[in-house]
């Protein structure tokens, strides 16, 4: 089974279900239980791009 989640702590996609925690998914490498979804975007931080677009639009409105 292929998961679409990665560990937010170490970045590993190797997840296991821990029986002692009632089947809760944990990272096999670091033991963390905080996960995020894999991003297929080439741009790691889209907030910067949105900020630059807003800045350009603001400059065009002022001119």
Q: Which residue has the higher pLDDT, 45 or 50?
A: 50
Q: pTM for this structure?
A: 0.46
The stretch 49-57 carries a mean pLDDT of 91
**pLDDT score for 1:** 47
Angle at 36 between CA 52 and CA 24, to 5 degrees: 165
pLDDT digits (tens, 9 = 90+) for 3-37: 577 887 777 778 787 777 777 788 888 877 777 76
What is the DSSP code (8-state) at residue 21? Answer: G
Domain that holds residue 40: 5-62
**pLDDT score for 3:** 52
Q: Number of folded domains in the chain?
A: 1
């Amino acid at each position: 089974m292929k998961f679409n989640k990665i560990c937010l702590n170490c970045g590993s996609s190797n997840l296991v279900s821990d029986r002692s925690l009632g089947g809760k998914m944990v990272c096999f490498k670091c033991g963390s239980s905080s996960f995020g979804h894999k991003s297929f975007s080439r741009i790691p931080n889209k907030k910067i791009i949105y900020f630059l677009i807003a800045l350009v639009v603001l400059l065009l409105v002022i001119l």
